[in-house]
Every structure is written in structure tokens, then in C-alpha cells.
Structure 1
Amino acid sequence: MASARVVYLVDDNDGFRESTAWLLETAGFEPRPYASGAAFLAAYDGERHGAHEECLVSDIRMPQMSGLQLQEELIRRGIRLPLVFVTAHGDVPLAVEAMRKGAANFLEKPFTDEALTHAIEAAIASRREHAPVRNEALGKLSPRERQVLDLVVASKPNKIIADILGISIKTVELHRANMMSKLGVRSLPELMKVALGHG
């Protein structure tokens, strides 16, 4: 039997939480909604972590405990959970900071259903990639090329990748070209297939 794909959904907006939980359920995930980071932390059973594929989707701006504070608390507790932030337009610099600290992705509201499900799939697959079994082709990449690849898979444009890694857009373009050459791919869809283990 396939393991459940659990998505913990933390957002203080009741309407957003309910509609997103419904969307996730119809997409084949098992949503577990929480109105705050504190409620999620109180309910999260660290013992069961890793028993199934899981991902945390959290708003970045919330009262009491923000998404960034929740991320810091997870890091402090040693909980490695793929994390996708949802954010309003003005919060992009915060979201870039969150990705520097290890978040898998961030989506600006409003986003499409497909953007959310793709971000969750990619976050779960990326965590799978960091398991001991690794695609041979990916072993050819330098650590920096791996970072660029992870951000390309997270659908980030070159400018955002440059901001997150603290390098120039030209350097990002160079890493992307080298990476595609090493992996023997010519297009973004081919690159995604290799990166997500379907190549």
C-alpha cells in the first residue's frame, strides 16, 4: 500500500485554509489544517516523522508566530520537513530569506491550484533526492550547481535564484548551462524529469 502523502497546512485565514484543504484532498494528498504555528507544533508527532511522505505549507505572515518563526522553531527542534511558504506580494524578500534557511519554495498569492500541487510534489521529491539513493547523473554536479538545480525545480526565475544564492544573474545562467550540459538535457522539461528522478 502506498504511504500517505500528508500536507500540514498552517494559515490563520479560515476561508483560505478550508478551500486549500479541499483542493489538496482532491489532488490526492491528506491535508491536516492548523490555524497557527503553535497549534501545528503542539499536534505534530515527531516520532511519526518519516513514516510517510509529508510537506508543510505555511503562510509567512501570521499573528503570534510568523511562518519564519515556525521555520526557526522546526530547525531548532531538528525537524526536517519540506516547507512551502505562501506569501503576499510584499513579502517576497522575507520568502527569499526563508529559502536561504532551507524552505523548499514560496508561492505568491493568488496562485493557481497547479502551482501549489506542483510545489508540494517538487518539495517531497526534493527530500527524496536527499535520501541515500541518488541519481548517478546528479552526482556530476558541483554543490553550487545542485543549489541552482533545486531552485530551478522550485520554478524560481534567474533573478530570484541570484538573490537567494547571493550571486549575479550571469553566474546563475552559467551554472544553468553547465548543469544542463553535464546532465545531457536540452530543455527545462527534460531537466525537471532528471531532477525529480523520472529521467
Structure 2
Amino acid sequence: MTEARIYLIDDNDGFRDSTAWLLETAGFEVLAYPSGPAFLDAFAGERQGGGAQCIVCDIRMPLMSGLQLQEELRRRGIGLPLVFVTAHGDVPLAVEAMRKGASNFLEKPFNDETLIDALRTAIANARQHAGADAGDDRLSRLSPRERQVMDLVVASKPNKIIADVLGISVKTVELHRSNMMNKLGVRSLPELMKVALGHG
């Protein structure tokens, strides 16, 4: 039984092969593609199954950038969680991608556990939002903005990045973060993770 199906999209053959091997070793099923169009063609042909799925995609690629792929997925109504991997100079693009709904972004190079944790968190958050889990009614106490802040905190983003993604000040992030923790009755990040992922 695989943990989830990962669609890996990157034009770098070496990165794609090594990352596919890493994820398969961690228990994921991996389908790898060299470009956005190649993924879209295959995905349209196979139609997704009912299991957990997530996309890992580079931001800068020929033929179709990660942001263009994200836009096309939205246009087609494909709501899979999306984790971007990006070079350091692409962070502003990645922030823009998160504004448009991406689950997370990781700067290359990243360690193995960082990617695996990001995927598990993205999948768990997608399930939570879809109501697949009974969930925790404490989450219903959060305002939409507090929910956004919580998702980004759980994705391990610092306050500065959260502020950039949401277009608010760091001070405002701190205020939402404090309110959110109080409403959920948690005092630490590990406690927050448990509640956010439905284990609290």
C-alpha cells in the first residue's frame, strides 16, 4: 500500500531521477514527467484515482513554467495540492505561487526529510480542507485569515514569508498567529501541527 501518488514534474533529468528514487524509498508511488504539458497529457488520459495525490513541480521550466501549469490546473478544475521546488532566485515567484494556492515551496537544495514532510503536510491539509477527516471543530473557530496563517505556519514558513504571501505586515501575522494559537488552545508548534493535521 503506497502512502500517496506523487506527480513529479521537472526538466532536470538528474533531479527528477534522484527525487523519484527518494520518494519511492519513502513509500510513495511516483509518476515523473519532464514538462508540464507531458504531465497534463498523461493526467488527462489516466484520470486520477481516489487515493491521496500531490504534485511536486519546478518553477522554471521550458515549454510551460510552474506558474503557468498552476494556472492551467486551476482552469481545468484540478485541485491537487502543489509543492514547488525552486532555486534561490525564484523565491518571489514561489511566494506568488503560494498566493495563488500552492501548498508550499522548497528552495533547492533541500534535505530529503524536508521534502517528505512538505508532501505529507500538503496531503493532510488537502484532506482536511476537503472534509475527508471528521476534523476538529476547533478549526471552525478560526477566521479565514487565521486559517491561512495556520496553513503557512504548518508549512514551516517564517513570519516574513507568511507576510509576503498574504500581503500583510509581519506585525499583523504575529497578531493572527497569536489569536489562532489561543483559539485552538495550543502553546507550541508541535501541538499546532497535531490539531491542524487532525491528530490533536
- 1:97-108 counterparts in 2 under 5 A? 97-108=96-107
Aligned equivalent of 1:30: 29
Give me the whole-angstrom Cα distance separating, in 1, the residues matched to 2:40 and 2:17: 19
CA offset digits 1:60-87 (Å, max 9, x no partner)? 0001111111101101111101000000
Q: Which amino acid aligns with 2:168?
A: I
Q: Which amino acid aligns with 1:180?
A: M
Give me the whole-angstrom Cα distance separating, in 1, the residues matched to 2:197 and 2:47: 25
Q: 1:5 Cα deviation (Å)? A: 0.6
Pair 139,47 (structure 1): closer, same or farther in 2 beyond 3 Å: farther
Cα contact 2:2–2:29 (8 A) shared by 1 = no
Deviates more, 1:132-141 or 1:144-153: 132-141
Q: Which amino acid aligns with 2:27?
A: G
Q: 1:3 Cα deviation (Å)? A: 6.6
Q: Which amino acid aligns with 1:178?
A: N
Aligned equivalent of 1:120: 119
Aligned equivalent of 2:58: 59
Aligned equivalent of 1:195: 196
Q: Which amino acid aligns with 1:29?
A: F
Give me the whole-angstrom Cα distance separating, in 1, the residues matched to 2:38 and 2:121: 26
TM-score by structure 2 length?
0.95
| Count of aligned positions | 198
Q: For 1:9, what is the secondary structure of its paired residue? A: strand
Q: 1:46 Cα deviation (Å)? A: 7.4
Q: For 2:130, what is the secondary structure of its paired residue? A: coil
Aligned equivalent of 1:170: 171
Structure 2 unaligned residues grouped into runs of 5+: none
Deviates more, 1:84-93 or 1:43-52: 43-52
Q: 1:137 Cα deviation (Å)? A: 1.0
Aligned equivalent of 1:185: 186
Aligned equivalent of 1:87: 86
TM-score by structure 1 length?
0.96
Give me the whole-angstrom Cα distance separating, in 2, the residues matched to 1:80 and 1:50: 13
Aligned equivalent of 1:69: 68
Give me the whole-angstrom Cα distance separating, in 2, the residues matched to 1:27 and 1:174: 37
Deviates more, 1:138-147 or 1:38-47: 38-47
Give me the whole-angstrom Cα distance separating, in 2, the residues matched to 1:80 and 1:98: 14
Give me the whole-angstrom Cα distance separating, in 1, the residues matched to 2:44 and 2:197: 28
Aligned equivalent of 1:149: 150
Give the RMSD, CA atoms, in angstroms: 1.3
Cα contact 2:149–2:162 (8 A) shared by 1 = yes
Q: Which amino acid aligns with 1:144?
A: R
Q: 1:4 Cα deviation (Å)? A: 5.2
Give me the whole-angstrom Cα distance separating, in 2, the residues matched to 1:117 and 1:184: 28
Give me the whole-angstrom Cα distance separating, in 2, the residues matched to 1:141 and 1:182: 7
Deviates more, 1:164-173 or 1:131-140: 131-140
Q: For 1:80, what is the secondary structure of its paired residue? A: coil
Q: 1:48 Cα deviation (Å)? A: 3.7
Give me the whole-angstrom Cα distance separating, in 2, the residues matched to 1:116 and 1:48: 25
Give me the whole-angstrom Cα distance separating, in 2, the residues matched to 1:185 and 1:124: 22
Q: For 1:63, what is the secondary structure of its paired residue? A: coil
Cα contact 1:6–1:32 (8 A) shared by 2 = yes
